[in-house]
Amino acid sequence: MNKKVSLKDIAEQLGVSTALVSYVLNNKERKARVGDETVRKIRQLAASLDYQPNIIARSLQSGKTNTIGVIVADISNPFFSSIARIIEDEAMKRDYVVFFSSSDEDADKSKQLIDMFIHRGVDALIIAPSENTEKQIRRLIKQRFPLVLIDRYFPGSDYVVIDNFQASYNATNHLIQAGRNRIAMMAYDTGMEHMKERIRGYRTALKDNNIRFDDSWLITVSYQDLARHVRKAIKNITTPTLGVDGFIFATNSLAVLSLKVLISSGIRIPTHLAVVSFDESDAFDLFYPPVSYVRQSLYDIGKSAVDLALRRIKGESKGPQQIVIDARLVVRESSIMPPPLSNSPHYNV
C-alpha cells in the first residue's frame, strides 16, 4: 500500500514550511499573504501527488466535521427527495457533506435519528419535523445546536417555509373564480402549523367570497393506513347529496391517492370536479387532464436552509430566523373548465 501523502511531504519537496502548505490547502492563503506563484506550485504538486486531507485531524483541530444531518418525512417522496438533492448540492459548494434519513412521520424514530446524528458529530441539522416532535426541537434550540426547519415549523425556531395561508387562499380563490362554490379540502389530521395555515387559507377564501362553509367539506385523514382512509373519505364527500364541485388537496400524496379513486369511479375532471393540489409531482403529468398545483420553489427552500444552517454554525445569526418563500399557483386543465349549468353529478365510488 502506498504511503499517504502528507502536508510535510509537499512542504519538503517545495522547500517551504508545513504551515504555509496548510494555509494554501485550507484556502487561507490571503490571510497568510502567500504569493500567487507559491500558491500555484503548492496546489499543482498536491494535485499531482493525489493529496487527501486528514478529515479526522482537521475536525479535531477545528471542532467541526463539515457535515450536516437532514431528516425528512420520507426521502422517497419526490418533494422531499428534490429538496434533499438541492441541500446536498448547495452544501457541497461550501465543502460540507450531507447525511439523509427519513422519520416516516414517527416521533420516536425522529428522536433516534436526531440523537444518532448528534452523536456522530454533525455540525447542524436540517429537519422537516413530524408531529409530536416539538419537545425534541425545543431541546435542540435550548442547547443552541444549529438547527433549521423546512416545510413545517414550530414558532420560535429557525425555519424556511412558504406562506401556506396565502398559497391556500389563492388556490381556493382560483376555484371560486372558475365558477366553483362547493369546494372541499383534504388535509392531514395533524396539529402542525403548516397544515393549519393551509386549512385557514381555504376557509378564509370561502368566507371572503360569501360562501358558507360546510363542515363536511373539510376532510382530515391519518398518516396511518392512508389509502383506506382516503378512499373512505372520497366516497363520503362525492355523494350526489353533497355534490362538491371543487377539491383542494393539502399535499401531492393526498392528491395522487384521491385522483386514482376519483378517476376509477367515473368522475370526470374538471367537468364534475375541479382539482388543485399543493406541491408538484411527476405523477400529475400521468393524469388527464394535467393537475393544477401550488408550486414551491424547492431551490430557494433548499439553498436558504443551507445558508441559514451555516450562519448558525458560524454563530452569525442572533434570535430566531424565519424565511418565507413565495409560492406560485400553476394553473392547468384540471381546474379551469367551468361547471355545467345543471350540475347534479351522480358518482359511483
Both 44 and 69 in one domain: the answer is no
Whether residue 82 lies inside any domain: the answer is yes
Predicted local confidence at residue 304, as pLDDT: 96
pLDDT in tens, 103-131: 998 999 999 999 999 988 899 999 999 88
CATH (domain of 32): 1.10.260
157 and 105 in a common domain:
yes
| For residues 196-212, average pLDDT | 97
What global pTM score does this model have? Answer: 0.76
Residue 102 covered by a domain: yes
Q: Are residues 284 and 178 in the same domain?
A: yes
- Nearest one of 117, 143, 114 to 130, comparing CA atoms: 114
| 327-338 tens-digit pLDDT | 999 999 899 876
Residue 344 lies in a domain: no
pLDDT at 283: 67
246 shares a domain with 284: yes
Query: 38 in a domain, yes or no?
Result: yes
DSSP 264-306: HTT--TTTT-EEEEES--GGGGGSSSPPEEEEE-HHHHHHHHH
Whether 183 and 149 share a structural domain: no
- In a shared domain, residues 95 and 158: yes
- Residues 258, 292 share a domain: yes
* Domain count across the chain: 3
Q: In this structure, are 68 and 12 located in the same domain?
A: no
**276 is a domain residue:** yes
If asked whether residues 216 and 245 sit together in one domain, one would say yes
Q: Are residues 135 and 175 in the same domain?
A: no
> Average per-residue pLDDT in the chain?
86
| Residue 348, pLDDT score | 43
CA distance 349 to 344: 15
Task: Kindly indicate the confidence band of residue 1, based on its pLDDT and cuts at 50, 70 and 90.
Answer: very low
Clarify whether residues 45 and 89 are in a common domain. Answer: no
**Residue 251's domain spans which residues?**
164-297+330-335
Whether pLDDT at 345 is above 80: no
Residue 84 — very low, low, confident or very high, per pLDDT cuts 50/70/90? very high
**Where is average pLDDT lowest: 8-17, 218-227, 254-263, 281-290?**
281-290
In a domain, 269, yes or no: yes
Residue 343 in domain? no
The pLDDT score that the predictor gives to residue 60 is 45
The CATH number that applies at residue 224 is: 3.40.50.2300
* Residue 2: inside a domain: no
Side chain identity at residue 101, one-letter code: S
Does the pLDDT value for residue 274 go beyond 90? yes
Question: pLDDT tens digits for 135-167?
Answer: 999 999 998 999 999 998 888 899 999 999 999
> Is the pLDDT higher at 322 or at 35?
322
* Mean per-residue pLDDT, 92-97: 92
Give yes or no: residues 199 and 267 share one domain.
Answer: yes
DSSP letters, 104-156, are TT-HHHHHHHHHHHHHTT-SEEEE-PPTT-HHHHHHHHHTT--EEEESS--TT
